[in-house]
Each structure stands twice: as structure tokens, then as C-alpha cells.
Structure 1
Amino acid sequence: MWVKADDDKFRKLVWITTFLTLDLVMFGGFTRLTDSGLGCPDWPGCYGTSSPFIAHAAITAAHQAMPTGPVSMTKAWIEMIHRYFAMAIGVLIIAQTVIAWAARLRRKPLHVSPWWPTSLLLLILVQGAFGAWTVTMKLQPVIVTIHLLLGLTLLGTLGWLAARQTPLPAHEPGAGRYRATALAALMLLVVQIALGGWVSTNYAVLACTDFPTCNGAWIPPMDFRNGFHLWRALGMTNDGDAITQDALVAIHWTHRTFAFVVVAYLAAFALKMRRFASLRRPANGVLAVVVLQFVTGLTNIVLQWPLPVAVAHNGGAAILLLLVVMLNFRILSSRPGRVAQPARDAAPA
């Protein structure tokens, strides 16, 4: 009875944390897209205080000294809300860890290893460190991109854990043979998200202003060496010069071109998975979000990067990652000899 109650509590907590982490990833994109990352140029507080309200005088002085700079009251609140949100996620993951280990110590363990939430706790600590470096290293592209990817790793891991805690649908023996196909879909998506993050953190969205060509050419002049040199300051080359337009074009063009590969593969993968009744709903979700990503990506170019569309594109990538992770879990659970059943009735991990 105690185990069942703890399992139910843990499962609900995992799903709530997953949903809020998705919201956090989207709000993180909003923070980046509104140039609010340096709204409070110190960490973890804001000008040494706990909120922009208390730091009002310092923020006002900084804004008056540089009206077009990165500091304003609005940007400070956006940045701090993002931090408060992240702290709340951390508290929820601590709660997961405490529940899991407490159940283990009572010798009535949950039907999931306590090392799952413990690994999430370690991951969010690393994520917090990169969040601090994002500010202290002045939005250095590689740091911001890693911060984004760690956030999505946290989301994907929570999605996997949530799937483990959810009763599986009817067993699909034939789906198990697509394990490698599903893993390839996930790997391609991760690469594309990393490329998209590199576009965003280098502000290269408008490096190509037309579609399907890029600045009137199918293969425009590009500088891959400087565009993909990882360790450099924002807007600069490794030599300390201003980054060239050709370098930004290389970043944008690579993300755009690889998108065709990813869209084609994910669409074919999802269509194939629709043959299985238990996979049809997440497969339909993948198809819908792939279309959304294509439309929002194109709209970003045609309409010159409108904020709502850019945020939707960022959120779509996160939702797509969750769907592909959950498809991978269901396909892996369809291995020959593995019986699909509710997580709470399975053997302890």
C-alpha cells in the first residue's frame, strides 16, 4: 500500500516537473531572444540583491548610462524570472530524489531506481553552473549553446523517466526491430538542435534573407572556419576581429541544409511508426511538430525573425525532442520477450 502511494506520488511529481521543464526551456528561449541574458549582469542575484525590485536604482543607473545596452528593468525581470523558474525546477528534482531514497531506506523502494532522480539532480547542478557562466562570460556562444543543450538533456531525461512511470499500451512485438531507426532519429534531431542553438547564440537567423536560396545563391560565400570556431567571444572571431557576414552565413546555411535531412528522416520514421496502434499518437505528434518547425523556421526568415514565431520554433524543438524520446522508450519496451505493463507493476530497477 505504501509503495503504491509513493509510486503514484512520484509519477505525478515527475510529470509535473517534465511539464514545467518544457516551460522553462521555452522561457529560456524567450530570455535569449529578447536579449535579456545580461539583464542582471551578476549571478545568482541581481546587482547583489534577490530581485530587480530591490536593485531598481542600480538598474536604472545602468540603463541611463547605456540606453541601448543589455540592462533595463524589463530585461532584468525576464532574466530573474528565468532564474526563479530554474530554482523551482531544482526544488522539484530534490523532492524526487528525497522521495526515491526515503522509499529505498524504508526497504519499500519505488519501481524506479533512486539513481534516476539523483542523476537529474547532478545534471541540474551542472546546468546551473553553465547558467552562471553564461552571464559571467558575457553570452559566449559555446557556453550559451551548452547551457541550451543541457536544458534539453534535462528535459529529455525527464521525458524518459516520465515514460517509465506511465502504463505502457498494448505490446507491439514488431516495433522492436526499429530500435536502431528510432535511435538514429534521436541522434539526427540532437545534431539539428545543436546547430539551431549555434544559429541562435550567434544571432545568425537573418544571415540568409531569402528561401530556398541564401542571399540569391544555392551555395553562397561562406566562412566555416570562423563560423564554427567554438571558443570565441560573441560577435568576434578567434583573432579578436568582428565576425564576418560569411561566417554567419555558414552557420545559418548549415542549419538550414541539415534541416531538410532531419525533416525527411523524421517524417519517414513517424509515418512508419503509425502502423503500430500504440505508437500512432506520438508518431502523429512528431509529424505535426515537424510541419510546425518547417513553417516557423521559414516564417522567421520571411518575416525577419518575429519574436512569437522565434519562441514557437524554439519550443517546437523541445516538444519534438520529448516526442522522439518517448517513441524511443516505447520501441525499446517492445523488444522481443519484454512484456509491456504499468511501471508500478514492473520489477524494481
Structure 2
Amino acid sequence: MMGTEGRLRLLKTLSLIGVVFTGLVILVGAWTRLSDAGLGCPDWPGCYGRLVVPDAEHAMMHTPDTPLEVFKAWVEMFHRYIASALGLLVIAIVVMGVSLRHQPGFPWLVSLSLLAAIIVQGAFGAFTVTLKLWPQVVTLHLLGGLTVMVLFLWLHLRLRRFVKGDLTLGGVPAPRRPLSPLWGLAVLVLVLQLALGGWVSSNYAGIACQGFPTCNGQWWPSTDWSEGFHITQSVGPNYLHGQLHADARSAIQLGHRLGAMVLGLMLIVLVARHWQETRMRPWLAGLVLVFTLQFGLGVANVVMWLPLWLALLHTAGAVAMVVAMTLSVWNWRTLPVEPAVLNRNQTIMTT
């Protein structure tokens, strides 16, 4: 029978594995989408009614109007297999945490939030197939995957502090700075930019604007913003390769570019505001570095006409951006306020 200490160490390890594993699942999902394999299996959770890819004869009998493409079907099923394994990992973490849930400071609520998120994410996976790659669901599916990864990371960080014994002081939670409006705004801008990136991908608008920094040779090209961001579009058509016309896709791509500029400016403000906190400098510098690399990857995707390997790197950059922001927020909230910063803030308040 595993003791409490051993159980906590195992939970800490499993939560870190969950962070890496979730990143892998997100990348495989991107590979599935970029390979046009999102509908490689027309049903869910099986593939032509089976848990493994069947032969062409069975597939024809099951769904006559959707011919089997073996490679795409296996890509889609591989994504489902590893996503299911991730779900089992979450369940294992929650079950292991049941006996620890009453200990002061144990992140039980984070564990339950992770379980709820993985269930919702599984539902989005089903809707992605049954609603024929409806862009709204595909975008939410991406955001859901990133949410699961953040929860895994937050759980790991909480468990690390809990194991070290500094999360509670005499049974009282250690003080943490509340999330300031500036940090909250930075997180919101990042979430919106990630949603825009998902919207670009789900509507196949990655190269709707050829060239950079101009779009199709113009600084402000012909666009259709109302159609490009018409989120109440009907459910039913097959959205593989998209349904929008060129001007609508150009508007989506241009919106994503503008969002990147806003996010970059937001990070500059964030760094300028908190650079005097020496303990925060490595995290802020890392955040800006990841954003710079991600911006460069976005430009390269446009210039090089969206090769598969580069598009996957851009997705990996989004994952890294989320991790960098999460770690920055965590450290800003938990690191002790430096005396010089505290004195400066008090001076500002008194004047």
C-alpha cells in the first residue's frame, strides 16, 4: 500500500507527464487537421463502426457514400487512441487524489476541474466529426486542449508546492498576489489570439493573405469581415477545406495578424511594468522570446505557403506560448514581493 508521501510524488510526476502528453495530443490533432484526416473516420468513437480501421469492403458496407482512405483513417484513429489514453491518465490522477482531498492545501478542486475539462474535450472531439469539422467546434476543440494542458501544469505547480510544504503555513494558505488587471488583460489577449489562430486553421485561411507584411500585395486588401467572423453559420455542410470565399478568409488572416500585433504590444507593456522585479525577469524574457519565435513562424508559414512541418511548429509555438504565460502568471503570483518594489508601490500610493 503506497503511503501519502509516495502518492504525492507519483501525482506530481503524473501531472508533469500530463503536460507533455497533452502537448503531444494537441500536435497530433494539428497533424490530423493539416493532413485533411479529420473526417478520415466518418463516425465516432469507432471507425466505420469498428475500434480499428477496417478493410475497404467493410467500410463500403458501413458508409457507402464515404470511401475509405486508409492513411487518413489511421491518422484519425491514432489521435483518438492517444486522446483516450490522456483521459485515462486524468481519471487515474483524480482517483489517486481522493484520499488526499481533505488535506489543507491539496489541489483537489484543480483535479476535479481537470476531469471536467477532459470530459468536455472528449465531447468536442465527437462533435468535430459528427458536425463535419464545423469551425466553431474545431476552434473550441483547440482551446479545450490548451485548457487541459494549463490545468495539468497548474496542478503540477500546486503539487510541487504542496510536497515542499510551503503551500500552507500552520494550515493557512501561503499569501499570493491576486491577478492584477494588467495580467488579466494579457491572458485575455492571448486567449483571443489563440482563438483567432484556431479560426484561421478551421476556415483554411492560413495562406489567404499571400506575402508579408502586406496581404495580397496590399496594405488593406479587399475583405469581408461580417462573413469571415459569422459565427452563427449553419451546421450541416462538410467544412473540409472550408466554405468561405476569398475575401472572408482574407479578413480572418488579417484579423490574426492584427491580433499578433496587439499581443506583442501587450507583452511590451507587461515587461515595462514588471521588469524592476528581478525574480520575474527570466520569466518575462522567456515569454517575449517565445512570442518572437512564434511570430517568426507565423510569417514563415505565409511566405513558404504553409508546409506541414512548419505549420506543426507554429502549433507547437502556440503550446509553448501558453506554457510560458502560465509559468509567468504563477511566478508573479507566488514569488515574494521584493522590498524595492514594495517600497516603490507604497511611495506611489502615498503620493
TM-score (norm 2): 0.82
Match of 1:88 in 2: 85
Match of 1:343 in 2: none
Q: Distance in 2 between matches of 1:209 and 1:317?
A: 22
Q: Mean alpha-carbon deviation: is it higher for 261-270 or for 201-210?
A: 261-270
> CA, structure 1 residues 278+23, in 2 after alignment: closer, same or farther (shift >3 Å)?
farther
Match of 1:57 in 2: 56
Cα offsets for 1:246-277 (capped at 9, x unmatched): 11111110111121111232245357656544
Alignment size in residue pairs? 320
Match of 2:12 in 1: 11
Gap regions ≥5 residues in structure 1? 338-349
TM-superposed deviation, 1:70: 8.5
> CA, structure 1 residues 267+124, in 2 after alignment: closer, same or farther (shift >3 Å)?
same
Q: Mean alpha-carbon deviation: is it higher for 22-31 or for 198-207?
A: 22-31
Mapped contact 2:29–2:79 kept (Cα < 8 A): yes
SS at match of 1:165: helix
Match of 1:166 in 2: 160
Aligned pairs for 1:1-349 within 5 A? 2-52=3-53, 55-58=54-57, 71-104=68-101, 109=103, 111-167=105-161, 179-232=180-233, 243-270=244-271, 273=274, 275-334=276-335
Cα offsets for 1:284-342 (capped at 9, x unmatched): 332221121111101111110011110111111111111101211111124669xxxxx
RMSD across aligned C-alpha pairs, in angstroms? 3.0
Mapped contact 2:190–2:263 kept (Cα < 8 A): yes
Cα offsets for 1:133-168 (capped at 9, x unmatched): 100110010111111111111111222222222349
Mapped contact 1:286–1:320 kept (Cα < 8 A): yes
TM-superposed deviation, 1:3: 2.9
Q: Distance in 1 between matches of 2:251 and 2:81?
A: 36
Cα offsets for 1:19-58 (capped at 9, x unmatched): 1011111111111111110011110111111111xx1225
Instruction: Give the AA of the match of 2:83.
Output: A
Mapped contact 2:150–2:326 kept (Cα < 8 A): yes
> CA, structure 1 residues 79+323, in 2 after alignment: closer, same or farther (shift >3 Å)?
same
> CA, structure 1 residues 100+184, in 2 after alignment: closer, same or farther (shift >3 Å)?
same
Mapped contact 2:131–2:236 kept (Cα < 8 A): no
Q: Distance in 1 between matches of 2:243 and 2:18?
A: 41
Q: Distance in 1 between matches of 2:155 and 2:311?
A: 29
TM-superposed deviation, 1:71: 4.8
Q: Distance in 2 between matches of 1:56 and 1:24?
A: 26
> CA, structure 1 residues 162+242, in 2 after alignment: closer, same or farther (shift >3 Å)?
closer
Instruction: Give the AA of the match of 2:96.
Output: I
> CA, structure 1 residues 126+332, in 2 after alignment: closer, same or farther (shift >3 Å)?
same
Q: Mean alpha-carbon deviation: is it higher for 269-278 or for 253-262?
A: 269-278
Instruction: Give the AA of the match of 2:79.
Output: H
> CA, structure 1 residues 273+178, in 2 after alignment: closer, same or farther (shift >3 Å)?
farther
Percent identical across equivalent pairs?
38
Mapped contact 1:36–1:76 kept (Cα < 8 A): yes
Mapped contact 1:130–1:146 kept (Cα < 8 A): yes
Q: Distance in 1 between matches of 2:67 and 2:299?
A: 28
Mapped contact 1:36–1:70 kept (Cα < 8 A): no
Instruction: Give the AA of the match of 1:255.
Output: H
Q: Distance in 1 between matches of 2:134 and 2:327?
A: 32
Match of 2:348 in 1: none
TM-superposed deviation, 1:119: 1.6
Instruction: Give the AA of the match of 1:156.
Output: V
Mapped contact 2:139–2:195 kept (Cα < 8 A): yes
Cα offsets for 1:114-139 (capped at 9, x unmatched): 23212211111111111101001100
> CA, structure 1 residues 210+90, in 2 after alignment: closer, same or farther (shift >3 Å)?
same
> CA, structure 1 residues 58+85, in 2 after alignment: closer, same or farther (shift >3 Å)?
farther
SS at match of 2:330: helix
Mapped contact 1:141–1:234 kept (Cα < 8 A): no
> CA, structure 1 residues 209+233, in 2 after alignment: closer, same or farther (shift >3 Å)?
farther
Q: Distance in 1 between matches of 2:293 and 2:233?
A: 33
TM-score (norm 1): 0.83
